[in-house]
């Protein structure tokens, strides 16, 4: 679908391997971060969030790491499955202002 | 809960025609957002509402675009007149806090 750009970074991983998707955010004042997953033809789907007073948060098969010093966010997916193939967006927010979304990274899982 | 509902899912129209996109947010969510997604510009915030009141419409491209939220369960995004460069996928999202947003399936608009 028309959900990805021609020049999106792409990460290809073997099924069963772990995936790490990185995101550099821009605003040092951002205090809230979310990772979204967008499959072809669908809307972005919430995966996991983290607040700036944390540096790690774990969910089911996913872990988000936050490094405020270098303004870097990462999403780790354990035991990557074909259903994980999608575009992943990070988003940052400050107080009650709207989220600012990154450009996205395409994850391709090789069976 | 059915999630955010958008209609139509696909819209094909000719340049100059009026287009109306519709959104029903998740019940109880006080925030509603309209986004546009294209290959070139990614996901862009057009406008958002809080308690049915428009808070920030600085992302609306031009006067041809307008959005309303007459009640807590319905919003429209209208383009009049439409142009080919408006072709995109338009998403509606809702939120209880203004932070964690839940997106609808989108409306794919094609203007010929």
Confidence at residue B1, expressed as pLDDT on a 0 to 100 scale:
63
* Contact criterion met (CB < 8 Å) for A93 and B99: yes
* Interchain contact, B106 vs A42, CB within 8 Å: yes
E strands of chain B, at which residues? 5-7, 10-13, 19-24, 31-38, 42-50, 53-56, 65-71, 74-79, 88-95, 102-103, 107-111
DSSP assignments along A9-53, one per residue: -EEEEETTS-EEEEEE---TT--EEEEEEE-TTS--EEEEEEETT
Give chain B's mean pLDDT. Answer: 95
Q: Percent of chain B beyond pLDDT 90?
A: 89
For residues B3 and B104, the answer to whether their CB atoms sit within 8 Å is: yes
Question: A19 CB near a chain B CB, below 8 Å?
Answer: no
pLDDT tens by residue, A14-65 = 999 999 999 999 899 999 999 999 999 999 999 999 999 999 999 999 999 9
Nearest CA in chain A to B43: A101
Angle at B109 between CA B21 and CA B47, to 5 degrees: 50
pLDDT above 90 covers a percentage of chain A that reads: 82
Give the closest of B48, B88, B89 to A98, CB-based.
Answer: B48
**pLDDT (average), residues A1-18:** 76
Alpha carbons within 13 A on the beta-carbon side of B82: 21
The pLDDT assigned to A13 comes to 97
Residue with tokens 């509603």: B32
| pLDDT at A104 exceeding the cut of 60 | yes
Q: Which residue has the higher pLDDT, A4 or A11?
A: A11
Whole-number mean pLDDT of chain A? Answer: 91
Contact yes or no for A89 and B45 at CB 8 A: no
Q: For residue B109, how many C-alpha atoms fall within 13 Å in the half-sphere facing its CB? A: 29
Say if residue B94's pLDDT is above 70. yes
Instruction: Let me know the angle formed at the C-alpha of A22 by A21 and A25, rounded to the nearest 5 degrees.
Output: 145
CB contact A83 to B (< 8 Å): no
pLDDT in tens, B66-90: 999 999 999 999 999 999 999 999 9
> Is A34–B39 a contact, with Cβ atoms under 8 angstroms apart?
no
- Tens-place pLDDT, residues B17-31: 999 999 999 999 999
CA-to-CA dists, residue A65 to A28, A77, B97, angstroms: 16, 12, 23
Question: A84 vs A18, A34, A60, B12, B31, CA distance in Å?
Answer: 11, 17, 13, 31, 29
User: What is the mean pLDDT of the segment spanning B27-44?
Assistant: 94
Is 50 exceeded by the pLDDT of residue A2? no
- Picking from B89, B102, B104, the nearest residue to A46 by CB comes out as B102
Provide the token pair at A103. Answer: 């450009």
pLDDT at residue B102 greater than cutoff 90:
yes
Query: How does DSSP classify residue B25?
Result: P
pLDDT-based confidence at residue A5 (cuts at 50, 70, 90): very low
Give the count of Cβ contacts less than 8 A between chain A and B.
56
């Amino acid at each position: 679908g028309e959900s990805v750009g021609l020049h999106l970074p792409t990460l290809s991983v073997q099924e069963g391997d772990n995936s790490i998707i990185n995101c550099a955010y821009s605003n040092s004042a951002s205090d809230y971060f979310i990772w979204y997953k967008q499959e072809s033809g669908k809307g972005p789907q919430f995966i996991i969030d983290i607040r700036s007073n944390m540096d790690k948060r774990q969910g089911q098969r996913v872990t988000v790491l936050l490094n405020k010093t270098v303004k870097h966010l990462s999403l780790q997916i354990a035991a990557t499955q074909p259903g994980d193939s999608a575009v992943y967006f990070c988003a940052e927010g400050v107080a009650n202002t709207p989220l600012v979304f990154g450009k996205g990274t395409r994850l391709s899982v090789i069976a | 809960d059915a999630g955010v509902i958008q209609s139509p899912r696909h819209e094909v129209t000719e340049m100059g025609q009026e287009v109306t996109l519709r959104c029903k947010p998740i019940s109880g969510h006080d925030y509603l957002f309209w986004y546009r997604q294209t290959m070139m510009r990614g996901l862009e915030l057009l406008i958002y509402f809080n308690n049915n009141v428009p808070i920030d419409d600085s992302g609306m491209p031009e006067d041809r675009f307008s959005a309303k939220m007459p009640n807590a369960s319905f919003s429209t995004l209208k383009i009049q007149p439409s142009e080919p460069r408006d072709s995109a996928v338009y998403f509606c999202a809702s939120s209880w806090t203004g932070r964690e947003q839940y997106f609808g399936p989108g409306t794919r608009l094609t203007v010929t």
